Amino acid sequence: MGFVPMLQASLLERHFRKNAPAAYYLSIPNAAGTSRHRYVRKADVEMIRRQTDAWKEFSQALAEWVRGNKEVERLLRRIGEGRCVKIDLGGGR
């Protein structure tokens, strides 16, 4: 596939009237949990689509990697707990 720049956004297609041509917008998330929309010119739609698709593929792969690492961590902690020597704190005299 090669290097494709990524845009951390989604591409939205909107029809404002029945049978009207589509208008395209970038939906750009922000820290407040909302998103801003920015108009995309028709000449730029395919380039923007490649970049947003690359971001989506990257973020899904990263989420899968994180899930796998959490499982590995859980298993390693279980192995470690099984190998630990129990310490008697001797609360009673």
Does 25 map to a domain?
A: yes
For the whole model, what pTM was predicted?
0.71
The β-bridge partners of 35 are 29
Is the pLDDT at 87 greater than 60, yes or no? Answer: yes
- In this structure, are residues 29 and 52 in contact, taking their beta carbons and an 8 Å threshold? no
Q: What is the pLDDT of residues 66-76, one digit of tens each?
A: 999 998 899 89
Q: Domain total for the chain?
A: 1
Q: Which domain holds residue 71?
A: 10-83
Does 37 map to a domain?
A: yes
- Work out the average pLDDT over 82-87: 82
